[in-house]
Structure 1
């Protein structure tokens, strides 16, 4: 097993944008979010998508954003980074709902 706090951490953000946020603004915000990987060193990867579930359990969330960090400490550096703080203010102000979860990926070997 890996030491506590060591190894990659996934940072998931589920979002529902406010009804008055235009598709163009959403695209601009997503592009800004994606660009953080170029500006904040501990952020190693970024992926995003929209809900396509057939189970209808999304609870109103429409977008998911997944960032990968080198460690739990890297997530902390990211959260405190001035570029993230500035972006988060704009991004979160455009959201109606948000849920954030950080986790350490574990593989199951059968």
Structure 2
């Protein structure tokens, strides 16, 4: 049962582009440190609809199960990273879901 963990972020204004790049690299590195984290993708908002509500970045992680997300959340590497990443954010929204194909 594949699960997706999606984090929408708006960085604080004082966070530099260089710091954002460093944080993204740290986030991506979690795939090599947390066994339950199978994949990581990210991107910046490019929508023309202007419905982003201030969120500028999206981060998507893939797990094999809901239990895998639970293991990730308490994993020491994730906890250490979150203590650096979250203070850099002005806004954050996290959603976990199981992708469902359209029949």
Q: TM-score range by the shorter chain?
A: over 0.9
The structure whose Rg is larger is 1
TM-score, structure 2 normalization: 0.99
The answer as to 2:3 corresponding to 1:31 is: no
- What is the CA deviation profile of residues 15-42 of structure 1, one whole-angstrom value per residue up to 9, with x for unaligned ones? 0000000000000000000000011000
The reply on whether 1:71 has 2:65 as its aligned counterpart is: yes
Which segments of structure 1 move beyond 3 Å, counting only runs of 4 or more? Answer: none
Match of 1:3 in 2: none
What residue in structure 1 maps to residue 46 of structure 2? Answer: 52
TM-superposition CA deviations, 1:63-101 (whole Å, max 9, x none):
000000010000000000011000001000000000000
Unaligned 5+ residue runs, structure 1?
1-6
Superposed CA RMSD in Å reads 0.4
C-alpha distance after superposition, 1:49-68 (max 9, x if no partner): 00011110000000000000
Please give the alpha-carbon distance, in whole angstroms, between the structure 2 residues aligned to 1:107 and 1:85: 32
Aligned residue pairs, count: 103
